Amino acid sequence: MSDTLPWRARLLSGEYASRREASLARFYLGWLALRRSPAAMAGLLIVGLLILTAILAPWIAPYHPDVQALDRALQPPSAAHWFGTDEFGRDVFSRIVWGARVTLYIVLLVAALAAPVGLLVGCVAGYLGGWVEVVLMRLTDIALAFPRLVLALAFTAALGPGLEHAVIAIALTGWPPYARIARAETLTLRRSDFIAAIRLLGGSSSRIVLKHIVPLCLPSLLVRATLDMAGVILIAAGLGFLGLGAQPPTAEWGAMLSSGRDYLLSAWWAATFPGLAIFIVSMGFNLLGDGLRDVLDPKHA
């Protein structure tokens, strides 16, 4: 390929000078496909705003989220308090902004804990087969037999209330779907010619799984993780609503919704805006996940 070609033409030409350039081309083509979906771009915008809000919370929020002012309790939305104030006089908008940090912390930590466990369990079960597959997948089926929220409630009740315990509980209930997807992908890959060639060259099972099968399973798991984040947000909000998640005075959307429900008829804003935040962010992750599925999963397309 001529190095004098513009970078866009080089990426679209199909002829690449290095592995890095091929990876960049694959990423660019995926971006072009994602950009053609208005729903996916709307989801990306919502998720991007969530990330920016979490990073810039100290500069966006006009008030400290925990400072109480009982003389301003339950004031309606105004120029001074865009989303009104809660029963302790705290600015609802500021608490929602700071709550974005808690939400992002939960979804990222749950994904970092649950996805690798599920990926490893599914790849090992699918590649080794036999009694290993039977044992691992029956454990997965047992975990999937329980409703996720009920199982998370049980783990949180055992561990005790708190944000970190809620994250651990959600992660413990979140790995089985990743294991099922990874196993399905591995069952197809282990019969591939290139895996047989690696095996003939003396590649060990651990090397084949970690170096070759796991990377090929990552796109499907990325889609699943993005779609799963909406469920994680709802479960975390449910735990916070029941008092088992983030504890006061932490600004967490589920806990805000729980405290505002007592004033729903007289001060609707105290519960409505946290509920809208949960709804919009969950919808954003779902829209983005659908778009990534169309880009990364050729079978779906």
pLDDT in tens, 208-263: 888 888 888 888 888 888 888 988 999 999 998 888 888 888 889 999 999 988 88
| Residue 56 banded pLDDT, cuts 50, 70, 90 | very high
Q: Which domains does the chain have, with CATH numbers?
A: 45-296 (1.10.3720.10)
> What is the rounded CA–CA span in Å between residue 101 and residue 104?
5
Q: What is the pTM of this model?
A: 0.85
> What is the rounded CA–CA span in Å between residue 96 and residue 118?
32
| Residue 201 banded pLDDT, cuts 50, 70, 90 | confident
Quick: pLDDT tens for 126-181. 888 889 889 999 999 988 888 888 888 888 888 888 888 999 999 988 899 999 99
Closest CA relative to residue 64, chosen from 88, 40, 44:
88
Judged by DSSP in three states, 2 sits in coil
Number of neighbours of residue 112 by Cβ within 10 angstroms: 12
Number of neighbours of residue 66 by Cβ within 10 angstroms: 14
| Residue 2 banded pLDDT, cuts 50, 70, 90 | very low
